[in-house]
Structure 1
Amino acid sequence: MSTLAPTQNSPPKILKVVIIALIIDIFAFTSILPLLPRTIEFFLSSKEQNPSATLNAFLYLISKLRAIQNFSLTYSYLSINSLLSLLHISPLKNPQFLSIDPLKSDIVLLGGLLGSFYSLLQCLVAPIFGKLSDKYGRRRILLFSMLGNLLSTTIWVFSKNFDLFLISRIIAGLSEANIQISTTVIADVSSPENRAKQMALVGISFSLGFTFGPLIGAYFASLPSHHLFLNNYFNLKLAPFANAALFSLALLSIETLYIYFYLPETLNYQNKSCPKTSTPQSATPLKLSSKFNQLLNTYFMYMFVFSGMEYSLTFLMHDLFNYSNRQQGYFLGSIGLTSALIQGLYVRKTVSKFGEKNLCLQGFAGCIFGMVSVVLLANSKSSFYLPAICLGFSIASAIVTSTMNAIISLLNTNNCSYNNNNNNNTSNNTAITTAPLHRSDSATSLADQIKPHLNTTPKAHIAPPNDSGHRLGSFRSAGQLGRAFGPGFACFLYWTCGPQVCYLVGSLTVLYVFFKFKNINFSLIKSKSL
């Protein structure tokens, strides 16, 4: 592993650079979200004028799925109704799929497949980017990732057909690492007692990006195409809603320059020494590995459900209320703004009081509340439930990922000491004692003590180990694996059985996750809150 000299920049300055760059990056990413349903609708409606072998292959797959769906569900409903007639019970209504517009159903399912494919690519590359950042440094890998983002967005600008659009999404999936590396940088420069609060800044950045990114993207998409000088002077055929793509490209260019000039290297930021210390007998590597695996499995299951339900919200609004691009932007923006307020006014101020575990449980409860509200909305087709949906999904977005990220960022694989570069007095510092965790797929271990929510002893701080990028990358990979299959599953369930059944299944699954996470025994992490 290479050793890079620690920088002399203060943590507050580095945090400021990271958060600003992250907000810009999320602006660029979210500008496409409210446009996705109508972008897919454009490619489907123009497939005769712009034939695409890839799109035809997707549509062929969808047609086969529809045939299987029609046969299986029709047979199931006939069987159930026959049984109900024998019991003198009123038969079930016709299956939901019989009343869904085929074009709308294709948009929903194709959008889900694209979302799943993008996240699957992220799942594959996240651990790789993490290991590379541990070896070559955070800054270099982040700049390399930005080059891929610039290339993918440039192709998106000129994606006049579905094939080019798909290529742009593939490159984007293989190159996006900003959120992951930013989280690792924060772990590099923050002390254990402030780690959870600093991680909440990532959530706030994400929420702000989701608040204003879709709104700005929808605004640029609403502008007529003659505003584009490329179309006027060079007669180039551009993508649908290319104004939003150019806006995203401009943001990514600014972000790349900003990172290049202002972000220092943070690998080995803290001065570390590794004295040999004793490890509690109960904290064996096997037991610690088991606890971490439970966390990974729980997070994967949660992200599988939450990402799918969240992803299909724009399709629900398009289906029920025929939302325009601007209305979709307002809807997503309200969720993002509420989430940012919860992060800043609640999470950062209460995490030391409740601890990560209790906050995560609150996030799961908010997710269930939001999904049940969607069921009521779809059943009544009334906008009365929109505020409840916004609140529920905002609570889940604000709490779950950031608090679990805080736990993962404090996991250590070595018994090292941590000395803050900006504080030579270590008498008030705290120690986190850990046991090595032998794990083939990711270098991870559970901290024996974590502050502020965990009891600590008056020793030197523990530095994040040099493999923190790999560990955080592995954790992000678990979440992206859920995102890879969640949108496709949710959209298929939505497409097959309708939004009521889709979100009811989602709420019941998150309820199971709630109790699964609650029953995880954190006794190896000596904490009052956990």
Structure 2
Amino acid sequence: MAVKAFRERIGGSGSRLDIILFGGFLGSLFSFLQFLSSPIIGNLSDRFGRRNVLLISMIGNAVSMLLWIFSGSFTVFVWSRIIGGLTEGNVQMSIAIISDITSPKDRSKALAWVGISFALGFTIGPPLGAYLASFDIHQIYPYLPVNRYSSPALFAFGLIAFETVYLYAYLPETSSLSMAGDFTNASSQEPSTKVNATSKSSKTTTSTSHSRSTSSKDSKNRLSVLSLIHFAFLFSFSGMEFTLTFLTHDRFDFTPVQQGKLLAFMGVLSALIQGGYVRRVSHKYVSEQTLILQGIISCAIGLLVVGVWATNITRLYIGVAFLAFTSGTVVNSLTSLASLVNQDSDEHSGHSTETKSNRGHTLGVFRSHGQLGRSIGPILACSGYWIAGSSNMYMAATGVMALLGLVVYFMIPRPALKPMKQD
């Protein structure tokens, strides 16, 4: 009833819109729950280790899929999504683990693999899910307490179970948790060394404390800026993703198959950009800050092309190509910079042992802002689409991206890097 009331409020009509809006609300709920849980998951990983928290997250995902498989009512299905959203820490922990084992200069290249995996999943997942949904387990095995859409959840549960066993057997712990190690090293020193160290320490306590305080404040400011940029970007970009199916159906009368091909084109191109461009040039020739700016400019162009200029399918694909470049550059580079916030802080203060121990919390706060944007963006974009029209909505999103580009240009400094080699 709530979906129908919302659809009527914004001026839409038809059962197809009800289905799309309903899926959007469920997706927004999932993202909002991640917004709530991401900082907690990050803190837990700092305290108990990435491996342990990742395994618990996998178990939570498995429970979510089991509830979906055996959900005999809509209430049980919603609970499966709630549990899934609250325990979804796979991506966050993967990013933290990669950040633990890579140097700052290799961070973006390594994180690009996460983006590539996302892009491929974005390409393969929807058509695979649609195909699996065509198999009604309940009709084949009527004695099982399942529903007609249990097949995709059963397949996902199998993948999660295999992955959990694999991680348990082969994934080592990567977080430092090194305070005890530092204490051990200190206690093993010779007495004379301890005295000299204590003497030197007492002379520099005031300056070190001041340095720590200043550095901590700077790192919090950097994290706040990156988190707000992450929120604003995903707020606009996720709105585009959600309404793109509306636009292609209304303007070009696209069928679900044609929409799937368009999204597959975007996903494959995004993966190629991350593997062929981002991994080759990031940090070595092009800074993360520059990649973010390139991606946001590309997004503004893509939104304008898709929303206003795309009067035929060729132009539509051109606009989506710009958006694919954005998908392959912005979030990956923002995440890389967020993972370096504590690194920068520790290098200034001279206490590198704190770097990994705070990284889970830092990435959790950063990711939670993005998930908040992803939970709000589709709802407001859908409202704007049906109230103001596709062209006006996409032009407004273009304006948001243009302003965000100015924020990135003036708020995130770009380090000097060596120039590209000439062939």
TM-score normalised to the size of structure 2? 0.83
Q: Distance in 1 between matches of 2:47 and 2:117?
A: 27
Structure 1 window deviating more from structure 2 (137-146 vs 152-161): it is 152-161
What residue in structure 2 maps to residue 166 of structure 1? 78
Say whether residues 1:249 and 2:160 are aligned partners. no
Written as runs of structure 1 = structure 2, the 5 A alignment for 1:122-133 is 122-133=34-45
The runs of 5 or more residues in structure 2 that have no matched partner are 187-196, 419-423
1:501/1:103 CA distance change after superposition, 3 Å: farther
Q: Structure 2 CA distance, aligned partners of 1:260 and 1:318? A: 45
- Matched residue, 2:313: 383
CA contact (8 A) 1:218 1:329 kept: no
Query: Residues of 2 paired with 1:354 and 1:157: CA distance?
Result: 46
Q: Note closer, same or farther for the CA distance 1:388–1:158 as it changes in structure 2 (3 Å cut).
A: farther
Distance 1:327 1:218 in 2: 14
User: Residue 159 of structure 1: CA displacement?
Assistant: 4.1
C-alpha root-mean-square deviation of aligned residues, in Å?
3.1
Amino acid at match of 1:290: N
Question: 2:123 maps to which residue?
Answer: 211
Q: How does 1:156-235 map to 2 (within 5 A)?
A: 156-159=68-71, 161-221=73-133, 223-225=134-136, 228=137, 230-235=138-143
Distance of 2:147 and 2:261 partners within structure 1: 23
Displacement of 1:296: 1.8
Quote the Cα distance in structure 2 between the aligned partners of 1:510 and 1:500: 15
Do the aligned partners of 2:226 and 2:338 also contact (CA within 8 Å) in 1? no
* 1:129-172: CA deviation from partner (whole Å, max 9, x where unpaired): 00011111111111111111112222223446543332222121
Q: CA, structure 1 residues 150+469, in 2 after alignment: closer, same or farther (shift >3 Å)?
A: same
**How far, CA to CA, are the matches of 1:414 and 1:368 in structure 2?**
31
Hey, what does 2:30 align to over in structure 1? 118
Q: For residues 152 and 320 of structure 1, what CA distance do their matches in structure 2 show?
A: 37
Aligned pairs for 1:132-151 (under 5 A) are 132-151=44-63
Partners of 1:108 and 1:495 within 8 A in 2: no
The answer (yes or no) to whether the contact 1:283–1:435 under 8 Å persists in 2 is no
Shift of 1:311: 2.4
Q: Is the 8 A contact 1:108 1:312 kept in 2?
A: no
- Give yes or no for the alignment of 1:433 onto 2:348: yes
Q: Which residue of 2 aligns with 1:358?
A: 290
* Aligned-partner residue type, residue 407 of structure 2: K
Range 234-243 or range 269-278, more displaced: 269-278
Q: Name whichever structure is richer in helix by fraction.
A: 2
Q: 1:350 & 1:253 partners in 2: Cα distance?
A: 36
Q: Distance in 2 between matches of 1:290 and 1:240?
A: 50
Q: CA deviation at 1:245?
A: 2.6
Task: Mark the runs of 5 or more structure 1 residues left unpaired by the alignment.
Answer: 1-55, 70-96, 417-431, 437-460
Alignment match, 1:410: 340
- Residues 224, 413 of structure 1: CA spacing in aligned structure 2 closer, same or farther, 3 A cutoff? closer
Q: Would the aligned equivalents of 2:227 and 2:367 in 1 still touch at CA under 8 Å? A: no
Letter in 2 for 1:293: S
Map residues 34-49 of structure 1 onto 2, 5 A cutoff: none
**2:228 aligned to which of 277, 297, 302:** 297
Q: 1:235 to 1:321 in 2, by over 3 A?
A: farther
CA shift at 1:213, angstroms? 2.0
Q: 1:224 offset after TM fit, Å?
A: 4.3
Instruction: Please give the secondary structure, in 2, of the residue aligned with 1:264.
Output: coil
Question: Among the aligned pairs, what percent are the same residue?
Answer: 38
Following superposition of structure 1 onto structure 2, how do residues 89-108 of structure 1 map, counting pairs within 5 Å? 97=11, 100-108=12-20
CA distance in 2, matches of 1:330, 1:366: 21
Please give the secondary structure, in 2, of the residue aligned with 1:509.
helix
1:485 Cα deviation after fit:
0.7
Residue 209 of structure 1: CA displacement? 1.6
Of 480, 488, 504 in structure 1, the residue corresponding to residue 395 of structure 2 is 504
Q: How much does 1:386 deviate? A: 3.2
**Partner in structure 2 of residue 34 of structure 1:** none
1:239 shift after superposition:
4.1
Structure 2 CA distance for aligned equivalents of residues 320 and 164 of structure 1:
37
- 1:310 correspondence with 2:241: yes
Structure 1 pair 363/415, CA: closer, same or farther in 2 (3 Å)? closer
For 2:416, the equivalent position in structure 1 comes to 528
- 1:476 matched to which residue of 2? 367
Residues 289 and 412 in structure 2, CA contact (< 8 A), matched pair in contact too:
no
Pair 471,154 (structure 1): closer, same or farther in 2 beyond 3 Å: same
Give the C-alpha shift of residue 366 in structure 1: 1.6
Q: 1:320 to 1:104 in 2, by over 3 A?
A: farther
Q: CA separation of 1:118/1:414 partners in 2, compared to 1, >3 Å: closer, same or farther?
A: same
Greater alpha carbon shift after TM alignment, 169-178 vs 366-375: 366-375
Partners of 2:373 and 2:82 in 1: CA distance: 18
Asked whether 1:62 is paired with 2:39, we answer: no
* 8 Å Cα contact 1:119-1:481 kept in structure 2: yes
Q: CA deviation at 1:242?
A: 3.5
Contact 2:226–2:366 (CA<8 Å) still a contact in 1?
no
Sort the Cα spacing of 1:192 and 1:346 in 2 relative to 1 into closer, same or farther, 3 A: same
Matched, 1:342 2:273: yes
State the TM-score, normalizing by the size of structure 1. 0.67
Displacement, 1:376?
3.4
Task: List per-residue Cα deviations over 1:341-387 (Å, max 9, x = no partner).
Answer: 10111111111212011110111012112212221377x3x322232
Q: Which residue of 2 aligns with 1:22?
A: none
Q: What is the letter of the counterpart of residue 254 of structure 1? A: F
Distance 1:193 1:311 in 2: 34
Which residue number in structure 2 is paired with residue 20 of structure 1?
Answer: none
Quickly say closer, same or farther: Cα 1:292–1:200, change in 2 above 3 A. Answer: same
- Indicate how the Cα distance of structure 1 residues 131 and 501 shifts in structure 2: closer, same or farther if over 3 A, else same: same
CA 1:521/1:195 → structure 2, altered by over 3 Å: closer, same or farther?
A: closer
* Corresponding position of 2:263: 332
CA distance in 2, matches of 1:374, 1:245: 34
Amino acid at match of 2:321: L
Are 2:366 and 1:492 aligned?
A: no
Give the C-alpha shift of residue 297 in structure 1.
Answer: 1.5
> Alignment partner of 1:464: what SS?
helix
Closer, same or farther in 2 for the Cα pair 1:414/1:345, shift >3 Å?
Answer: closer
Deviation digits for residues 269-289 of structure 1 (CA, Å, limit 9, x no counterpart): 888789978779796544443
